[in-house]
Amino acid sequence: MKEQLLNHAAVKRYILTQMQQRRPGVGFTRVSKSVLLQLEARLRDVLDRAIWQHRSTGKTFTDIC
């Protein structure tokens, strides 16, 4: 398995906190593993595209396109 880029516990807490604040009547208490894997895949895609499109000058990664 690839190295995790996201802190899954922190992401779960964030999702559940936001759901409670924004949709208090729903009452979600869990976050599925598949959602965490989907978020991880999307983050990898965003980073891969940013790395591919980044200019080739300098020594610092500075932009996410």
Identify the pLDDT of residue 64: 79
- DSSP 8-state class, residue 3: P
Identify the pLDDT of residue 61: 86
Alpha-carbon distance of 46 to 40, in angstroms, equals 10
Alpha-carbon distance of 65 to 53, in angstroms, equals 7
Q: Could you list the pLDDT tens digit for every one of the 65 residues in the chain?
A: 589 999 999 999 999 999 999 999 998 999 999 999 999 999 999 999 999 988 888 888 888 76
Q: Tokens for 64?
A: 């996410």
Identify the pLDDT of residue 1: 57
Decide: pTM greater than 0.85: no
Alpha-carbon distance of 65 to 46, in angstroms, equals 9
Asked if 64 and 50 touch (Cβ cutoff 8 Å), the reply is yes
